[in-house]
Amino acid sequence: MLFQNIIGQNELKERLISLVKENRLPHATLLWGNEGCGKLALAIALAQYLLCSTRAANDACGQCLSCKQIQKLIHPDLHFVFPIVKNSTEPICDDFMEEWRDMVLTSPYFSYQQWMNKIGDGKQGLIYAKESEEIIRKLSFKGFQGEHKVMIIWLPEKMNAVCANKLLKLLEEPPEKTYFILVSEQPEMLLSTITSRTQMIHVPAIAYTDMLAATNESIARVANGNYIKAMQMQQPSAVNKEYFDWYRNLMLAVVRPHAVLDLKAWSEMLNEQGREEIKNFLSYAQHLTRECFILQLGHPELNYLEMHEQEFASKFARFLGVQNIEFIIETFTKAYNDVEQNGNGKIVLFDMGLQLKTKIR
């Protein structure tokens, strides 16, 4: 991955390149920001620049053996850690390396949800305790092709507590000429002792002008700096449409006076989709509710609704106002947290619906 192939983020690219050229890159860097800003792409480009044997002033050469290996994600000194699902008693990331290479090489702009859809079948993804042993083992070797070794950890907030604590020890005393690049969307979920041992670098949303150059005016505006969303809009996802249908059916059951049985059936249907799908839907529900509320306030220029959402929002927005919007968002958030903590999905969703019925009329 070359820096020149990353969408926007020019100031940040220059900063990362300068850190390498001036030998000031810390042994542990934490790139953090919202979904779709290009964090993983930046991490891979930084690793390629570090490992390139004939790097240029502003980018890796793209032609040396190291560059060609990284372009296929097969460089022996570049390692990846990422959330996986249990397919054995002690799963490790190497068990999913073929799927990971396919995902990243197709496009380094993808979400946790998309990765789980590829490998998870509705399961929750984690970085398990066994991975800490693999990290230690891999980094105990000297570099195979050069001086440096790079370990990219995508979504370290998904680490098992045992793995996180062992990583802390490595960050305290890293092997010589080893660089950790952590790529996070929720750094607040990491141990404070980990974040304190990294140099945190915020990756902002992609600038509108850069998005416009990569897409078109309508997509650039609605995507709001999220290139993953922009890609989904260019190729509409059946999954996103399904979330919208679930939201619409939920709200129909909520606003109808005598639709408790419909709400019960809806809760049972969604519960069958699995814990990760429930969480993804609840995140989508918070987003769409906020957009409907903004529309109700009379600020369409601040709306980021897709075509299939706009007609529904224009009718549903009247049910939202300052008197209930905070309660509704908090209800979705509480349901998300309960599901994440292994609450009974059917009960959580049905109770959520009943709570919404008290405020949406």
What string of DSSP letters covers 316-348?
HGGG--TTTHHHHHHHHHHHHHHHHTT--HHHH
User: Which residues, 6+ apart, have CB-to-CB distance to 92 below 8 Å?
Assistant: 84, 128, 130, 131, 134
Same domain, 134 and 277: no
pLDDT score recorded for residue 104 = 96
Strand order in the sheet with 199-202: 78-81, 149-154, 178-184, 28-32, 199-202
Residue 141 belongs to some domain of the structure: yes
pTM: 0.76
Residue 77 belongs to some domain of the structure: yes
Same domain, 60 and 190: yes
Same domain, 292 and 191: no
- End residue of a domain, out of 204, 222, 247: 204
Residue 209 belongs to some domain of the structure: no
Same domain, 155 and 253: no
Same domain, 40 and 184: yes
C-alpha distances out from residue 73 to 10, 69, 130, 214, 309, Å: 24, 6, 22, 25, 38
Tens digit of pLDDT for each residue in 279-295? 889 988 998 998 889 88
Same domain, 26 and 105: yes
Same domain, 189 and 246: no
Residue 22 belongs to some domain of the structure: yes
CB 77 within 8 A of CB 51: yes
Residue 262 belongs to some domain of the structure: yes
Same domain, 197 and 252: no
Same domain, 156 and 109: yes
Compute the Cα dihedral for 21, 76, 108, 180 and give only its sign: negative
Same domain, 269 and 347: yes
Domain span including residue 261: 238-357
Same domain, 62 and 111: yes
- End residue of a domain, out of 204, 225, 256: 204
CB 150 within 8 A of CB 47: yes
CATH number at residue 109: 3.40.50.300
Lowest mean pLDDT among 77-86, 136-145, 298-307: 298-307
Tens digit of pLDDT for each residue in 29-84? 999 999 999 999 999 999 999 999 999 989 999 999 999 999 999 999 999 999 99
Question: Tell me, what amino acid is at 1?
Answer: M
Residue 212 belongs to some domain of the structure: no
Same domain, 323 and 182: no
Distance from the Cα of residue 167 to its chain's centroid: 21
User: For 151-160, what is the mean pLDDT?
Assistant: 95
Number of domains in the chain: 2
Residue 233 belongs to some domain of the structure: no
Residue closest to 43 by CA, chosen among 148, 154, 139 = 154
Residue 232 belongs to some domain of the structure: no
CATH number at residue 297: 1.20.272
State the average pLDDT for the chain.
90
Confidence class for position 28, pLDDT limits 50, 70, 90: very high
Task: Give 22 or 221, the one with higher predicted confidence.
Answer: 22
- End residue of a domain, out of 204, 226, 259: 204
85 has a pLDDT exceeding 80: yes
132 has a pLDDT exceeding 70: yes
d(CA 199, CA 29): 5
d(CA 195, CA 5): 29
